[in-house]
Amino acid sequence: MPVLRSGVRRGRPAAKQKEEKQQLNPIQEGEAIATRTRRRRAAAAALAAGTKDNEQQPQQQVVINDNLVAPAGLDEACPVGTAGDVGVDCGAEEEEIGEKQMDDNDSGPNDKANVGEDEGSTAPVPEKVQVGGSPMYKIEKKLGKGGFGQVYVGRRMNAENTSERTGPGAVEVALKFEHRSSKGCNYGPPHEWQVYNTLGGSHGVPKVHYKGRQGDYYIMVMDMLGPSLWDVWNNNSHTMSTEMVACIAIEAISILEKMHSRGYVHGDVKPENFLLGSPGSPDEKRLFLVDLGLATRWRDNTTGLHVDYDQRPDVFRGTVRYASVHAHLGRTASRRDDLESLAYTLVFLLRGRLPWQGYQGENKGFFVCKKKMGTTPEALCCFCPQPFKLFVEHVVNLKFDEDPNYAKYISLFDGIVGPNPDIRPINTEGAQKLIGHKRSRMTMEEDDEQPKKKFRMGLPATQWISIYNARRPMKQRYHYNVSDTRLSQHIDKGNEDGLYISCVASCSNLWAIIMDAGTGFTDQVYELSPCFLHKEWIMEQWEKNYYISAIAGATNGSSLVVMSKGTTYVQQSYKVSDSFPFKWINKKWREGFYVTAMATSGIRWAVVMSRGAAFSDQVVELDFLYPSEGIHKRWDCGYRITATAATWDQAALVLSVPKRKPADETQETLRTTAFPSTHVKEKWAKNLYIASVCYGRTVS
């Protein structure tokens, strides 16, 4: 049965999206510019770089395992975070770029920006430290290093009370150094300072006793803590008892609840960032969460409301092994991400390994995220007690702004830990104080409650995605399962009837074409080419003032390109890439271009961007299955879907804010196994007409 998803446009003004894109490594490009001079430059650049410009790779029919689905663009992600397993390499991709010079009526760039960060300095730390009224400390051994600084042992000089182990007068402290030119100090003291000012000393977060700048370094003085959970696991032959991990779960959830109640998400939950208290001290069995360099606000400090949803596929923040799927996809961090990372942390400590470990190379982040999406809670927790599976199932299905049920999550592990809190391997007193009273109010019905809807998990499917817009009554015609030899017959007949092609798609090397009388075009040409895309033909048509208005690609590598006169475009550029080219899209956004057409051929993407498009803002929703939640978030902010494309593994939808608000903003989406011929007629009866269509990965 087809799955119908519909929504009505509310007409609210779109909020400006904040741009925090990390600078990425440049990739070698072969350019095809519609001027002789720029062609020569491009050829020289390609020759110097030793690249094979415009090389077309034959596509093979690939059988996809329906249990494994993949994200797009992660090989271009620039990670920010700690060392070790952090990061996604930015590898070069085989690509092709075509661009038509701008006509005389130029349009200025919009306000989308790219914000980069410096990598910092490796200058040696000072031998002695005294900041913010602190005692003088002598620097001793190095404890660790991450993406946001390095930590050393500091020993107090001329200490009168040598037995003091914690507090401002402790003999031995932890000193965290961050160089003034590092990525966390672009505008003064580190962002982490502000977070510690709010969270420091609260349940499970160590207190900063002193902080200040000395020379080129910003320095924090904190209590010395004990080993991390990674150290405990590693020193115990890579094993940890079920009761120990259950106690960690209970206390970690309570720590995150307290942090979230203050308006922050941690952003990098993993075993290395959970530390026990100092051995031999009263806190040796207490759990602490450290390294707040990636912490961000999930709640606006001024309004008290949840921050706005956004997706930036080129930005990854966190640690690849433990990051949530939403973090891999570049979505705005919220409370669900910390809990998903905690779930992976718990399973790792209990099983000793996660299914996505072992990937290497430039596409590591891509394959890790693909594996995470394809691993069900049952498979992930196949050797774990039932509470761990239930916890994973709950947290991976949380919506962006949903309130987590921390008390319920803690109650899942009650049956695993011992009844006497005093002899538990981890002190869970904090959890009992914070939310014990909430657990006592839970009813049996709540205990048995299952996730209401599986927002992320589902059966991967390959389906038609069709988009419908409300229009005044007009004539529209569709053809599908069209072979190459019959394509011209249908197009010529449509032209005779006053119809022009508005969108095209492909399935199983057969074409689908939509023709209607509402395009506004005055003339149109098309080419069926064995390559994806035929650059020389496109450039010839650009010279004749035709612009690309629709494209489609087949699995055999062929393409159908439609170019029209009568558009509003004044300049155009396209790119063919082996992964979704969000980095390039973001660059063109800043130059005043907008995505006006997309297509795929096998795993390859083609994206067309134009100046003069009738949009005032634009965003991308990218997912392994189907970004249903993101689409509804965008609809609520005034966006409409204006372009779609999908590969075997992933779907991308471009949503835009029109410069001129339509009289009827109704937009509906439909996902069907077969071409939606019956449903199209039903839509026509409601004056809803196909605006975009594609075939590829969705979820049933």
**Which pLDDT band holds residue 96 (cuts at 50, 70, 90)?**
low
Cβ contact 69:328 at 8 Å: no
CATH of the domain spanning 128-222: 3.30.200.20
For residue 520, the tally of other CB atoms under 10 A from its CB is: 11
Cβ contact 502:510 at 8 Å: no
pLDDT higher than threshold 70 for residue 668: yes
b/e per residue 477-503 (b: at least 16 CB within 10 A): ebbbebeeeebeebbeebeeeebbbbb
b/e per residue 131-154 (b: at least 16 CB within 10 A): beebbebebeeeebebbbbbbbbb
pLDDT higher than threshold 50 for residue 248: yes
pLDDT higher than threshold 50 for residue 543: yes
Quick one: pLDDT at residue 366?
Answer: 85
Report the candidate in 97, 103, 104 with the shortest Cα–Cα distance to residue 547: 103
Mean pLDDT for the stretch of residues 109-115: 35
**Which pLDDT band holds residue 637 (cuts at 50, 70, 90)?**
very high
pLDDT higher than threshold 90 for residue 88: no
Q: Taking the CA atoms of the chain, what radius of gyration do you get in angstroms? A: 28
Q: How far is CA 455 from CA 171, 458, 525, 700, in A?
A: 51, 8, 42, 11
For residue 302, the tally of other CB atoms under 10 A from its CB is: 6
Determine if residue 176 is labeled as part of a ligand binding site. Answer: yes
Mean pLDDT for the stretch of residues 113-125: 51
Q: Give the dihedral sign, CA 32/36/41/44.
A: positive
Quick one: pLDDT at residue 64?
Answer: 29
pLDDT higher than threshold 60 for residue 525: yes
pLDDT higher than threshold 80 for residue 110: no
Least confident residue range of 66-75, 248-257, 477-486: 66-75
Catalytic residue among 75, 223, 268, 338: 268
pLDDT higher than threshold 80 for residue 35: no
pLDDT higher than threshold 60 for residue 345: yes
Report the candidate in 25, 42, 21, 22 with the shortest Cα–Cα distance to residue 92: 25
**Which pLDDT band holds residue 91 (cuts at 50, 70, 90)?**
very low
List the Cα angle 564/567/568 in 5-degree steps: 155
Quick one: pLDDT at residue 459?
Answer: 67
Known catalytic residue at 231? no
Mean pLDDT for the stretch of residues 375-386: 93
Mean pLDDT for the stretch of residues 80-109: 45
Quick one: pLDDT at residue 697?
Answer: 85
Mean pLDDT for the stretch of residues 496-515: 96
Same fold, 128-222 and 227-436: no
pLDDT tens, residue by residue, 586-611:
999 999 999 999 999 999 999 999 99
Quick one: pLDDT at residue 38?
Answer: 44
pLDDT tens, residue by residue, 131-150:
999 999 999 999 988 767 89
What letter represents residue 457's amino acid?
M
Mean pLDDT for the stretch of residues 653-662: 95
CATH fold label, 227-436: Transferase(Phosphotransferase); domain 1 (1.10.510)
Mean pLDDT for the stretch of residues 644-673: 94
Mean pLDDT for the stretch of residues 441-464: 58
Give the rounded distance of the alpha carbon of 231 from its chain centre: 30
Residue position matching structure tokens 């920006």:
113
Cβ contact 311:295 at 8 Å: no
**Which pLDDT band holds residue 533 (cuts at 50, 70, 90)?**
very high
Q: How far apart are alpha carbons 433 and 254 in whole angstroms? A: 9
Please state the domain extents for the chain: 128-222, 227-436, 460-699
**Which pLDDT band holds residue 435 (cuts at 50, 70, 90)?**
low
